[in-house]
Amino acid sequence: MKRAGSTNLSHCLRIIIQPVLAVAAVIGFISLAGGAESEAELIASDASLSEVMATIVMPSADVLWTAVAVDVTAAGIVLTAPETEEDWQRIRTSAVNLAAATDKLLNENLPVSNAEPVEPPPGELGPQQITSLRKQKWQEWTAHVYVLHEVAESALKMIDAKDTEGLSEVGGSLDEACESCHLQFWYPEG
């Protein structure tokens, strides 16, 4: 159940975020919401891949994605941008955490899951299948990780330049970076 829920969450995000970015791009004025959510916590050294995803990768990516806010209200379309150094700093922390998490993903002995084995939902691979696929296609695995790292670095550059439009574009690449790995290593038939 947990795994199925996670898949849905990741798919949902894609469905929600892409149109928001598209609307913002069409309007030609991109902004960032000030309130980045909770910062990713530092993770235990024995954390599994699944935990790294759930506690660092996902929350950090989420901050970068939700940083772009376009609200449609009765008064019209309202765009919000970060106003203070603190707003930018919070978003920056998430980009740094995301880049740092890629180090963990380059450990070929990183256990995929520490949870009790359960039958994966249809279309998803179980931890053992993921482990052997990762071993077999290690080069492809690392290529996905490098792409994620590159995207996190681009996000950092945009944040340091306070380039809101650029950051919004990075949001799209970020989504691709997650999905392309998930499609190969997590739910190839999902």
| Contacting residues toward ligand HEC, per CB under 6 A | 3, 6, 10, 49-50, 53-54, 57-58, 61, 105, 112-113, 127, 130, 141, 144-145, 148, 174, 177-178, 181-182, 185-186
Distances (CA, A) of 36 to 1, 14, 104: 29, 19, 24
Q: Which two structure tokens, joined as six digits, stand for 95?
A: 């980009």
What is d(CA 151, CA 176) in angstroms, rounded to the nearest whole number? Answer: 10
Nearer to ligand HEC, 58 or 170 (CB): 58
DSSP character string of 76-142: EEEE----SHHHHHHHHHHHHHHHHHHHHHT-TT--S--SPP-PPPTTPPPHHHHHHHHHHTHHHHH
| Least distance CB 77 / ligand HEC (angstroms) | 27
Q: Between 13 and 69, whose beta carbon lies closer to ligand HEC?
A: 13
Please say which residue, 90 or 182, places its beta carbon nearer to ligand HEC: 182
The label of the residue with tokens 């180090």 reads 103
Residue 127 CB, shortest distance to ligand HEC, in Å, is: 5
Residue 82 vs 127, nearer CB to ligand HEC: 127
Closer residue to ligand HEC, CB minimum distance, 21 or 57: 57
CB of 183 to ligand HEC, least distance (A): 10
Tell me how far apart the alpha carbons of residues 159 and 124 are, in angstroms, rounded to a whole number: 35
Q: How far is the CB of 150 from ligand HEC (least distance, A)?
A: 11
Q: How far is the CB of 76 from ligand HEC (least distance, A)?
A: 32
CB atoms within 10 A of CB 57: 22
Q: How far is the CB of 116 from ligand HEC (least distance, A)?
A: 12
The number of helix segments (H) and strand segments (E) in the chain equals 7, 2
Per the DSSP assignment, residues forming a β-bridge with 23 are none
Toward ligand HEC, which CB reaches closer, 113 or 154? 113
